[in-house]
């Protein structure tokens, strides 16, 4: 087998990743997977490690942690996405808090991801590029602003150690501050669309927050993002709607608009909190576009 590089975020999952990663990696090695292991030391470090590893010739990576770890690796290898002659492969050991992205491929968690690594089978996955006022970033799971981003920011700051229960606590806490902001978007260069919304979620895959099925019809390899826009609702109706996200039923509500697009343009004058693959950044997004099948995932 080709040699892989496992990038381990020991702090993922409130430190559980650091406790579990060693045995999981030993198990993979015992079963014949040849891999090197590098550890992150701070937020953003996986970006640097992946970029350095790319320069050393590595082309197969394993994200050992959560969605944020995978996100950083994707951004670290982004230069390859514009090259027609090179491919990068990403596998997973989902030992983080949410582990949302991998659910599109297996519901068996760590066991399913390990089986995929040992099989060696790959599938193409779209990568979404976001241009913003200060540069670019890339994602494979979700890009969201409004209520969802506010909840994620609060949860990461106060409740992350509680896992999915912490996210639910963040939802309840942010309900008291529920607001509806005007959102301008242009999809695929067509007529501009503007409305007041509680949140906008732009999805490459189905799940967020662990097992919340934000975009139940998303396909990470169809060359499109799935948009979910929740309009103005009273708090009681909003709570009822939000509970339906776990089964994807929210998309049928009359105040929820869904669409698909290959490009999305925005008109933000100032940075705002944006949740990207489970982490919150403060940026002023300008546009995003899908890079079809730019990444191979090992599953």
Q: What does the pLDDT read at residue 172?
A: 80
Say if strands 263-266 and 181-187 run parallel, antiparallel, or are unpaired: antiparallel
Over range 75-93, report the average pLDDT: 94
Category of 127 on φ-ψ map: left (φ > 0), alpha (ψ -120 to 50) or beta: beta
Say if strands 35-39 and 4-8 run parallel, antiparallel, or are unpaired: parallel
Helix (H, G, I), strand (E, B) or coil at 56: coil
Q: What does the pLDDT read at residue 258?
A: 96
At 33-78, the pLDDT tens digits run 999 999 999 999 999 999 999 999 999 999 999 999 999 999 999 9
Q: What does the pLDDT read at residue 126?
A: 98
Please state, in angstroms and as integers, the Cα–Cα distance from residue 217 to each residue in 138, 184, 221, 278, following that order: 21, 24, 12, 20
Q: Residue 109's pLDDT band (boundaries 50, 70, 90)?
A: confident
Tokens found for residue 131: 């241009």
Residues pairing with 272 in the sheet = 283
The per-residue b/e assignment along 197-217, b for 16 or more CB within 10 angstroms, e otherwise, is bbbbbbbbbbbbbbebbbbbe
H/E stretch holding 64 reads strand 60-65
Q: Which value, in Å, is the radius of gyration of the alpha carbons in the chain?
A: 19
At 253-273, the pLDDT tens digits run 999 999 999 999 999 989 999
Kindly give the residue spans of alpha helices, DSSP state H, lying in the chain. 16-30, 45-55, 67-76, 109-119, 147-154, 164-175, 235-243
Distance CA 216, CA 203 (A): 10
pTM reported for the whole predicted model: 0.93
Q: In the predicted model, is pLDDT for residue 2 greater than 80?
A: no
Considering only residues 3 and 100, tell me which one the structure prediction assigns the higher pLDDT: 100
Most confident of 84-98, 106-120, 215-229: 215-229
Residue 228, C-beta contacts closer than 8 angstroms, at least 6 positions apart = 200, 201, 203, 214, 215, 250, 251, 256, 257, 258
At 17-28, the pLDDT tens digits run 999 999 999 999
H/E stretch holding 183 reads strand 181-187
Q: How far apart are the first and last CA of the chain?
A: 15
Residue 52, C-beta contacts closer than 8 angstroms, at least 6 positions apart = none
Distance CA 189, CA 287 (A): 11
Tokens found for residue 194: 């503007």
Q: What does the pLDDT read at residue 190?
A: 93
Mean pLDDT, all residues of the chain: 92
At 197-213, the pLDDT tens digits run 999 999 999 998 788 89
Q: What does the pLDDT read at residue 78?
A: 97
Please state, in angstroms and as integers, the Cα–Cα distance from residue 166 to each residue in 96, 109, 163, 182, 269, following that order: 14, 20, 5, 28, 32
Over range 106-127, report the average pLDDT: 91
Tokens found for residue 50: 């992946």
Q: In the predicted model, is pLDDT for residue 163 greater than 70?
A: no
Which residue is it, tokens 């970033």?
137
Q: In the predicted model, is pLDDT for residue 1 greater than 50?
A: no
Q: Map out the domains of the chain with their CATH numbers.
A: 4-120 (3.40.50.10330), 138-292 (2.60.200.40)
């Amino acid at each position: 087998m080709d040699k892989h590089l496992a990038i381990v975020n020991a702090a993922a999952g409130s430190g559980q990743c650091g406790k579990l990663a060693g045995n999981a990696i030993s198990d993979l090695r015992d079963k014949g997977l040849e891999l090197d292991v590098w550890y992150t030391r701070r937020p953003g470090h996986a970006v640097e490690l992946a970029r350095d590893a790319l320069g050393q010739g590595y082309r197969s990576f394993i994200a050992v942690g959560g969605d944020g770890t995978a996100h950083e690796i994707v951004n670290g290898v982004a230069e390859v996405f514009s090259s027609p002659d090179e491919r990068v492969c990403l596998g997973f050991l989902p030992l983080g808090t949410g582990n949302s992205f991998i659910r599109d491929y297996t519901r068996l968690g760590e066991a399913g991801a390990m089986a995929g690594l040992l099989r060696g089978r790959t599938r193409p996955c779209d990568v979404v590029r976001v241009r913003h006022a200060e540069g670019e970033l890339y994602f494979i799971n979700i890009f969201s602003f409004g209520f969802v981003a506010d909840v994620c920011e609060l949860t990461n700051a106060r409740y992350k150690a509680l896992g999915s229960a912490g996210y639910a606590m963040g939802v309840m806490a942010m309900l008291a501050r529920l607001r509806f902001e005007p959102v301008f978007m242009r999809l695929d260069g067509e007529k501009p669309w503007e409305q007041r919304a509680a949140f906008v979620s732009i999805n490459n895959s189905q799940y967020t927050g662990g097992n919340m099925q934000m975009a139940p019809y998303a396909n990470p390899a169809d060359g499109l993002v799935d948009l979910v826009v929740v309009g103005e609702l009273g708090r009681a109706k909003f709570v009822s709607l939000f509970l339906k996200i776990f089964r994807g039923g929210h998309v049928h509500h009359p105040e929820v608009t869904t669409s698909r697009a290959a490009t999305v343009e925005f008109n933000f004058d100032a940075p705002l909190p944006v949740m990207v693959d489970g982490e919150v950044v403060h940026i002023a997004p300008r546009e995003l576009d899908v890079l079809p099948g730019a990444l191979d995932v090992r599953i």
